[in-house]
Structure 1
């Protein structure tokens, strides 16, 4: 007896339940039933493209009808939809090979012929997997395909219910297209909406509106065909051949907005990866600009067929840009509904992002007013890129515009700030808060204003984050004026402010020590202020803690359980401070004054008093004291 090792290996062919395989493929590959129409139109466009290339060698194939077209015919009463093209058509053998074998792509076979030199270059063929046709079984209970090969006197009928079997038989030549293929879908009851002209036209324009073959629709039997697409794609044209009105109309169609685009970016990239891009910056804020999802709105086309508007072609901080990218280089998954992550996609993302930012830079250089409008609409979003995009941080910082203590009602760039900085100034100072009015009234600005030092006034939520992530600009670091010591002693006061220099007297020093003792549980320190020239008090953060505004954001988001104790700074030269500093230490009024000064600083900082009830009671005692003093000094009391 031969041993197991001596027995020859046997070869077997995989077996499959074809009906079940077809059902799984149809109902698992696609997530949206509407795509069946895109797949059939793509196949029809490929057939027209194949005819064009085969006609190069055999011109008679086109005959007297050289113009390619696709016609969609609707019959609501019979619940039928047909897709007909006048492309290359199929012989009996080609029908069996193309439609009788799952995943056998006629387009792929044709491309292999192109690559071997049997046809011209540049074919705009779409299909590649050989499964798109079967998507029609998602909506049809039976599909009949009548096809006549260009130059042939025979026509053939392929028919199947999508359950594992199909038939092929001769078709009446009088009922067949003169050339090409007609696919007739007998729709299910659930899919009868696909006999509605409005539904079909909407799907075509959204998903296949730019395939390189004109598409017409016959909305009921006996009606004349009406062209709904012209087979052109605006982005394939040269910029010099597209008018401003054409760009505007296309922008309005793709964005759903009715304003004028502030910026149009149209280019074709060639070289290692080839693609076309057409992008618009809206003239006004889209309603979803601050959508928490923060996704982009750039559509992806592959060979002029819509694939997805969720490809992440731009970073989130450019989510206001509307437009599209069209390429033939991207690998797709089998359903063509999703793209596969690849170096090609990364290269396209990088290239499109760079071109858009460069275009915005040129706008800032050449059309300042238009750029400022763009910045007012989208500056808060663009600044997210300073926080998120390390590679382009310097570019985005240079693009950014700010309201400052020196800008009036206009805007200033960081380059402007650095150019006008004081000698020896190593920082770009900023103050972050909820509103411009609040910031301009902030006591922390007083010392900087008295010395003519410019301060950025930051009111967008993202500002507190990007300043921590931007280490410097042209050698100057970013520094909050509400954090740590002011470091103003190195800068002289302006001539008209020299009288405002605070002097710390012995009485003021004693009062500062008194306040520090009474507020020991509330503040990290109490000190004489170098930044106050007009106000009595202000709060600042300690050197190693977060900026005051950042602390508030983190607390409101639940990311910081308890804020660090602030520092209370006191202006020793202020009349109110001099008045209360002269009170006896055991005076109840002096203790009330210490707490009221702390609450005043909190209010100026945009907060509420530490204890609202205690604040009201202390304020009431102050009023009572003032009233008694007033009565004692009146003539009627003497």
Structure 2
């Protein structure tokens, strides 16, 4: 047996009017939308029909109500029953239910927003197609009535009268109404007046006729300061014809949080949709704020966001391409200005360079990376070094950069966001470029081994040092290298690091998994970490000549611990214990020697 749904009209009214919209302020947007759409419909029949919207706040009506008059097409009594009493029914859709492009509203629920501020909504209307004036009165509890109007309208059109809910009268007051019109309806092409005085400009910021480029730049700067709260670094003109979109992108003069969603001001056929619309641009373009007007992108039912569909996705890609083209032009025409921009917004540009070759070229040529020879662009670095070697972390770079610089090795800090990915993409610009992560043991190949006489003299010390560190899985290697101020360097290859991770995993695993990990652990002695003792360092030379074995052992332990700490290497419990023993032992020896004196 087939049945129809039972609808609680009071609940539906409450759902749409109180939960669909984020704020009571949208009621004015919906009233203006209905008025402009009615005028658009009338002018489709009569191009010479008047186009006016006039508003009487409670200060003028004298009875606490707000009245909105329009010279639109109006409604006949059958249309009142069909459209105003059926939630979701709209005259602004065609017979297939598709949105008609010339209208702002499409969903047939906009009038319900008035119940955010009013407990009674009265619509007095006369159709331009003929017929008497009809009055529809809707109540917040879901009831409505339709009757002939007590007074006939002279001209076609509609008047909406709102009687405020107790406590909501401030939303209907004249000053508030003026502010809401300035927010939502300032750019509408229809004159909107309060007490006979027009209160909207009827133009979008890029549509005003400016006498000169300088005047335009000054006006747009003032607009950005008023709307977004900043003086823009630059202004980019935007246009996506397939979306009926035109507008501006204002480049932020200060750094922005890449993780924060950028809110853009979006107009729909010159009616403000919302100030905080996100996902209009690609995520990498977080350094711009946009104001756009669109005729084709679809709003959500609440008209406070854009509907995610293929057209919006294509528009997002096109707008991103226009921002990107601005950056490419800036690189070609004003390098100094580009550098100032990159100093603030390099994260967005580097993010874009991960999938755009032109932006990769901009980063390669203009963005200074941190290298062992100071800040340098990758293009300059490649001219000096045949191989682009990089460290995986900033800590590793800080330790190895002075050593690499002294050996003229060439090293780039890959510890910042996107830098490693950018360097790995360099072969797209130059197929001959060699990019590789530094294996720290490569540095040791540049160090000088000791001469045979010195090595023979140091042999007892080196044998003792090797015995001290053997239990920690570390070899001792004497070498001479710059800078002399660095006494020791703890170097571990990637294979050794992986072996250490394997041993840690085995130690914490149960018996079964410990056996499995042991079976795949193929580490040999060739991959053990190395403590490189710098023979050019005077402290190392003096420690090597100490005749007291226990004091020499403390010196070796201290050099080992200092190298671990300087390199920001993780300390095992055994490492920590040795570092503690060396510190206390040297302190005890120093205080004892001082007491003996």
Single out whichever of 365-374 and 467-476 deviates more from structure 2.
467-476
Structure 1 match to 2:204: 233
Q: Distance in 2 between matches of 1:385 and 1:48?
A: 45
The match for 2:55 is: 71
Alignment-derived partner of residue 543 in structure 1: 494
Q: 1:626 to 1:353 in 2, by over 3 A?
A: farther
Match of 1:51 in 2: 42
Contact 1:596 1:618 (C-alpha < 8 Å) held by counterparts? no
1:506 partnered with 2:472? no
- Looking at structure 1, the residues matched to 52 and 529 of structure 2 have their Cα atoms a distance apart, in angstroms, of 75
- For the residue of structure 1 that corresponds to 2:73, the secondary structure is coil
1:421 maps to 2:388:
no
Give structure 1 stretches of 5+ with no counterpart: 1-9, 116-122, 219-223, 491-499, 548-563, 632-638
Is 1:182–2:159 an aligned residue pair? Answer: yes
- Aligned counterpart in structure 2 of residue 600 of structure 1, from 557, 562, 571: 562
Relative to structure 1, is the Cα distance of residues 581 and 568 closer, same or farther in structure 2, using a 3 angstrom cutoff?
Answer: same
- Separation in 2 of the partners of 1:426 and 1:445? 15
What aligned pairs does 1:216-615 form with structure 2 within 5 A after superposition? 216=193, 218=194, 224-235=195-206, 243-257=216-230, 260-271=231-242, 273-285=243-255, 289-290=256-257, 293-304=259-270, 305-307=272-274, 309-385=276-352, 394=360, 397-398=363-364, 401-405=367-371, 412-418=376-382, 420-422=383-385, 425-429=386-390, 432-433=393-394, 442=398, 444-457=400-413, 460=416, 462=417, 466-467=419-420, 471-474=424-427, 475=431, 476=433, 478-479=435-436, 481=438, 483-486=439-442, 489=445, 501=448, 503=450, 506=455, 511=461, 514-520=464-470, 525-528=475-478, 532-534=482-484, 535-544=486-495, 568-584=531-547, 587-605=549-567, 610=576, 614=581
Conserved? CA contact 1:44–1:70, under 8 Å: no
Normalising by structure 1, report the TM-score. 0.73
Give deviations 1:549-607, integer Å, cap 9, x for gaps.
xxxxxxxxxxxxxxx997543323333222222335x6222122122223333453468
C-alpha distance in 1 between matches for 2:241 and 2:330 = 24
Kindly indicate whether the alpha-carbon contact (under 8 Å) linking 2:350 and 2:422 is maintained by their aligned counterparts in 1: no
**CA shift for structure 1 position 453:** 4.5
Aligned pair count reads: 552
The CA deviation string for residues 147-173 of structure 1, in whole angstroms up to 9 with x for no partner, is 234486853322111433322333355
Q: TM-score normalized by structure 2? A: 0.78
Cα distance, 1:111 vs structure 2: 11
The CA distance in 2 between the partners of 1:153 and 1:85, in whole Å, is 17
Matches of 1:309 and 1:332, distance apart in 2? 13
Secondary structure of the residue aligned to 1:333 is coil
CA root-mean-square deviation: 4.2
- Cα offset for 1:374? 1.5
Aligned residue number for residue 553 of structure 1: none
Give distance in 1, aligned partners of 2:476 and 2:180: 68
How far apart are the structure 2 equivalents of 1:449 and 1:365?
Answer: 32
Please name the residue that 1:494 is paired with.
none
CA 1:598/1:228 → structure 2, altered by over 3 Å: closer, same or farther? Answer: farther
Equivalent of 2:135, from 157, 162, 181?
Answer: 157
In 2, Cα distance between the equivalents of 1:402 and 1:204? Answer: 48
Structure 2 stretches lacking a partner, 5+ long: 499-526
1:195 maps to 172
